[in-house]
């Protein structure tokens, strides 16, 4: 890059090569759109925000260099509206699109269209997105790459007989899952052979209704698993590293509430083993950009591949804090064609980080609480990071995700991090809407949480310990979590 | 990479500030030769003949003269292999000049640290609808035709054809009033109201966003 200060007192001449991005369009909203803008600003990259009409006053629109309204409130007509987004990208002449998470982030179709329009999609190639998006294919591919997968059917089940045979091999309890599914739907736990036939039928029907695909498969069901995920970064030249793990077991209805890094049960040996498996798998499928391998860890610390997310994740900040990296920055550099520039030996993990997702919901009933924020006091001080898109006077719309902020703390030890999170949440005052801050404060005080005794059953047990009575949600999730009602 | 000349001006009436739509993508009704000539003409007017990667001082001075003579505040040129951006002073938009074009003005949102709450920028970044919205807001009793999609607005079916409508035109519900181009497709926009066109809020070739006011119709 050549910069001439011409001493005419008036002008600055800037010449750049075309490979680094000058301008990125962010095909998303909310806190992740802001997050991407922050890094773009640091890199001197101009940003274009697209938004629905109700998001006109949203923070990402305010801070982007340019913006355009692309449709009305419903996501299908705005944030999922591919022609509108591409049209905006062409008008603003952007070099690349960052899809964030959710929305079109894992749409192989969208990635292909970007490619066809000569706009760089910041993420892996469409073929890889497609592959990992099909859960059955992903399992098969991972197994072939030497990744341990939960014992189960090799693919979608053809018959009840096949299911019975496999269940006998792997042992009850088993779980029936939708091939095209996620989020707890199309799932049934089966504890005995007698229940299997019925469970297969209902799961398949539910899957067909929710995902237009009634294919199901079965896996061994681990009673008290931990959800441990490995963050990877791969460039487009075949190099790949992992950035350690995140513990994400604290979930309610398959939505994560709280995440941390490192995991309280992780050992350096296990981390190395899981990390190496993830990196080898990335290389086997030709992965590039940021990605996350989700594993189940059973009570004997054996890990099994669950799925891979071919995008940046909500909880990426805890990894950034302990590894001192900027994942968005790396995604952008990788998309520009830069080599990774560092190896596994350069990756460090320092201290302990915890993230609490703050939702605009009642902390007692979890009912959504959109509306006008009248007071908003941010916590600050040592080791506190806040990723948000709201501000005093902002009206939280009812059309989208209820998450309004992520509070992330970093400290030397887990104990200090918990204390830090407690005082940060105490100082975080949001009025005008209800938020789940009180819930997180209770979790910080919970003895099991403090001891690191957590599994994916934690939230359900915590809620019943603390007198929450949840409305019945439908048989699938109830069966999964054992909640009555 | 697009190879066009984009320029933004504080004085929007100067002809040399004509907006060049996304080059090579607009199907023009005129002959190929005519179009080549047009392209060449534009290129000659606004662009020094040879701009190689290592720019030399005399060409640079020519460029500077062009800019100061024509009162340009921002000038951007792209060609295969490089991009040149020249501006007057810091890239802050002249407060007297409303931005019509997306990306035309680079707004400096002064010195914020990026912390989300303490300093919300007083002015929103440039977006296509800013000026048109202001103008349309005073026309409360007119039926406003707004853009149903984001794209590039054209007054006529082709560069050489007549405009679909002008001030004073009568329209019916299904009268086509303009075209909005999105992703190489020309979308015909219908009036969906009956009456007389009394206001036109946007310029030919301008980028428009969803919901942006386009025409004001005085209905019967």
Q: Does the beta carbon of B22 lie under 8 angstroms from any beta carbon of chain A?
A: yes
The complex scores an ipTM of 0.76
pLDDT of residue A136: 85
For residue A341, give both structure tokens. Answer: 């520039």
A407 and A259 in a common domain: yes
Is B177 inside any structural domain?
Answer: yes
Q: Tokens at residue A73, please?
A: 């409130």
Give pLDDT, residue B92: 39
**Average pLDDT over every residue of A271-296:** 97
Q: What is the pLDDT of residues A174-189, one digit of tens each?
A: 999 888 766 667 788 9
A188 is catalytic: no
Q: Is the CB of B124 less than 8 angstroms away from the CB of A62?
A: yes
Q: Which of A101, A122, A143 is the last residue of a domain?
A: A122
Is A189:A175 a contact under the CB 8 Å cutoff? yes
pLDDT band at B83 (very low <50, low <70, confident <90, very high): low
Task: Return the structure tokens found at B146.
Answer: 């707004």
Residues in chain B with CB shorter than 8 Å from the CB of A12 are 86-87
Q: Phi and psi for A95 in degrees, rounded to 5?
A: -90, -30
Q: In this structure, what CATH number is given to the domain that contains residue A183?
A: 3.30.1490.20
Of residues B179 and B93, more confidence is placed in B179
For B135-167, how does the pLDDT look when each residue is reduced to its tens digit (9 = 90+)? 666 677 899 999 999 999 999 999 999 999 999
Q: Which residues pair with B83 in a beta bridge?
A: A16, B78
- Which range scores top for mean pLDDT: A36-40, A165-169, B70-74? A36-40
A309 and A237 assigned to the same domain? yes
- Residue A242 contacts by C-beta under 8 Å, 6 or more apart in sequence? A230, A231, A232, A233, A275, A276, A278, A279, A344, A347
Distance, in Å, from the CA atom of A431 to the CA atom of A191, rounded to the nearest integer, reads 46
Of A154, A257, A308, A254, the closest CA to residue A476 belongs to A254
Contact B153, B145 (CB under 8 A): no
Mean pLDDT for all residues in chain B: 66
Domain count, chain B: 2
Question: Does A185 share its domain with A261?
Answer: no
> Which of A42, A67, A326, A375 is the best substitution to test chain B (most B C-beta atoms within 10 A)?
A67
Query: Does residue B121 lie in a domain region?
Result: no
CB contact under 8 A, B116 and A34: yes
- The verdict on residue B197 lying in a domain is yes
The residue among B57, B87, B117 that closes a domain is B87
Q: What confidence tens digit (pLDDT) does each residue in A52-71 have?
A: 999 999 999 999 999 999 99
Query: What residues make up the domain containing B74?
Result: 5-87
A43 and A170 share a domain? no
Residue A137 lies in a domain: no
The confidence band for A90, taking pLDDT boundaries of 50, 70 and 90, is very high
**H-run or E-run covering A99:** none
What are the chain A neighbours of B212 within 8 Å (beta carbons)?
A: 69
Q: Which residue has the tokens 């009036």?
A: B191
Least-confidence region, from A170-179, A270-279, A360-369: A170-179
Q: How much of chain B exceeds pLDDT 70, in percent?
A: 44
Q: Residue B159 is part of a domain; what is its CATH number?
A: 2.40.50.100
pLDDT tens figures, A220-251: 888 899 999 999 999 999 999 999 999 999 99
Residue B92 lies in a domain: no
> B-chain residues within 8 Å CB-CB of A15?
53, 55, 82-84
User: Would residue B103 count as lying in a domain?
Assistant: no
* pLDDT level of residue A2 (50, 70, 90 thresholds): very low
Cβ-Cβ contacts under 8 Å for A360 (sequence gap 6 or more): A368, A369, A370, A371, A396, A402, A403, A404, A433, A434, A435
In a domain, A414, yes or no: yes
Nearest to B182 among A16, A65, A87 (CB): A87
Any domain includes A31: yes
This prediction's pTM: 0.75
Q: A175 in helix, strand or coil?
A: strand
Is any Cβ of chain A less than 8 angstroms from the Cβ of B182?
A: yes
One domain, residues A170 and A245: no
Domain boundary among B56, B87, B118: B87
Domain end call among B27, B57, B87: B87
Q: How confident is the model at residue A11 (pLDDT cuts 50, 70, 90)?
A: very low
Determine contact, residues A271/A323, Cβ cutoff 8 Å.
Answer: no
Count of CB pairs separated by less than 8 Å, A with B: 137
Would you say A286 and A239 are in contact if contact means Cβ atoms under 8 Å apart?
A: no
Contact B151, B182 (CB under 8 A): yes
CA distances from B28 to A218, A345, B74, B156, B163 (A): 59, 58, 28, 11, 14
Q: Which is higher by pLDDT, A357 or A306?
A: A357
Q: Would the CB atoms of B84 and A87 count as touching at under 8 Å?
A: no
Nearest to A392 by CA among A400, A404, A406: A404
- Could you give the count of Cα atoms lying within 13 Å of A105 in the half-sphere of its Cβ? 20
Q: Which domain holds residue A206?
A: 151-220
pLDDT by residue (tens digit) across B192-215? 999 999 999 999 999 999 999 999
What does the pLDDT read at residue A178?
Answer: 86
Provide the domain count of chain A: 3
So what's the pLDDT on residue B183?
86
Q: Do A15 and B86 touch (CB under 8 A)?
A: no
């Amino acid at each position: 890059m050549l910069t001439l200060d011409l001493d005419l007192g008036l002008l600055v001449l800037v010449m750049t090569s075309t490979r680094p991005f000058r301008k990125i369009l962010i095909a998303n909203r909310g806190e992740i759109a802001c997050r991407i803008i922050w890094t773009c600003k640091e890199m001197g990259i101009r940003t274009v925000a697209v938004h629905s009409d109700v998001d006109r006053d949203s923070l990402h629109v305010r801070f982007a260099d340019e913006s355009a309204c692309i449709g009305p409130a419903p996501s299908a007509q705005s944030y999922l509206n591919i022609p509108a987004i591409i049209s905006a990208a062409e008008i603003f002449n952007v070099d690349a699109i960052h899809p964030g998470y959710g929305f079109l982030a894992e749409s192989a179709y969208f990635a292909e269209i970007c490619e066809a329009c000569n706009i760089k999609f910041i993420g892996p190639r469409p073929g890889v997105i497609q592959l990992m998006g099909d859960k059955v294919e992903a399992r098969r591919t991972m197994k072939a790459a030497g990744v341990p997968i939960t014992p189960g059917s090799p693919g979608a089940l053809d018959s009840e007989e096949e299911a019975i045979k496999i269940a006998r091999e792997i042992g009850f309890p088993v779980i029936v899952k939708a091939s095209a599914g996620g989020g707890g739907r199309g799932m049934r736990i089966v504890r005995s052979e007698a229940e299997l036939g019925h469970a297969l039928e209902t799961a398949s029907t539910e899957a067909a209704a929710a995902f237009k695909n009634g294919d199901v498969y079965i896996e061994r069901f681990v009673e008290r698993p931990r959800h441990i995920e490995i963050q990877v970064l791969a460039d487009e030249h075949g190099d790949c590293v992992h950035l350690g793990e995140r513990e994400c077991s604290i979930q309610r209805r398959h939505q994560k509430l709280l995440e941390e890094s490192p995991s309280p049960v992780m050992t350096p040996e296990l981390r190395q083993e899981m990390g190496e498996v993830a990196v080898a798998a990335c290389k086997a499928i030709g992965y590039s950009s940021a990605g996350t391998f989700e594993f189940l860890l059973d009570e004997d610390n054996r890990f099994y591949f669950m799925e891979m997310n071919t995008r940046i994740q909500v909880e990426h900040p805890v990894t950034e804090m302990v590894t001192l990296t900027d994942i968005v920055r790396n995604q952008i550099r990788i998309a520009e064609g830069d080599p990774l520039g560092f190896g596994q030996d350069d990756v460090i993990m320092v201290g302990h980080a915890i993230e609490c997702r703050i939702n605009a919901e009642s902390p007692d009933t979890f009912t959504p609480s959109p509306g006008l924020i009248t007071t908003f006091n941010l916590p600050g001080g040592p080791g506190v990071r806040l990723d948000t898109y709201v501000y005093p006077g902002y009206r939280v719309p009812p059309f989208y995700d209820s998450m309004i902020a992520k509070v992330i703390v970093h400290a030397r030890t887990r104990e200090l991090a918990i204390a830090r999170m407690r005082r940060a949440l105490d100082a975080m005052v949001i009025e005008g809407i209800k938020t789940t801050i009180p819930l997180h404060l209770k979790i910080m005080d919970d003895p099991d949480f403090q001891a690191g005794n957590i599994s994916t059953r934690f939230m359900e047990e915590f809620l019943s310990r603390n007198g929450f009575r949840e409305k019945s949600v439908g048989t699938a999730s109830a069966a999964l979590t054992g909640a009555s009602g | 990479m697009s190879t066009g000349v984009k320029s933004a001006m504080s004085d929007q009436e100067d002809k040399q500030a004509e907006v060049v739509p996304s080059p090579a993508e607009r199907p023009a009704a005129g002959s190929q030769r005519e179009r080549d000539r047009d392209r060449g003409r534009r290129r000659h007017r606004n662009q020094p003949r040879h701009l190689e990667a290592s720019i030399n001082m005399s060409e640079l001075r020519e460029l500077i003269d062009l800019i100061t003579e024509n009162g340009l505040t921002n000038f951007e040129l792209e060609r295969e292999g490089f991009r040149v951006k020249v501006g007057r002073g810091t890239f802050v938009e002249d407060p007297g000049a409303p931005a019509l074009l997306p990306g035309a003005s680079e707004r400096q949102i002064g010195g914020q640290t990026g912390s989300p709450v303490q300093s919300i920028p007083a002015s929103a970044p440039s977006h296509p609808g800013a000026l048109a919205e202001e103008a349309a807001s005073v026309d409360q009793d007119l039926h406003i035709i707004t853009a149903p999609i984001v794209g590039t607005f054209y007054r006529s079916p082709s560069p050489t054809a007549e405009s679909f409508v002008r001030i004073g035109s009568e329209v019916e519900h299904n009268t086509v009033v303009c075209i909005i181009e999105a992703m190489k497709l020309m979308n015909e926009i219908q009036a969906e109201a009956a009456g007389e066109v009394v206001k036109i809020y946007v310029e030919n070739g301008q980028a428009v966003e969803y919901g942006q006011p386009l025409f004001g119709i005085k209905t019967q």
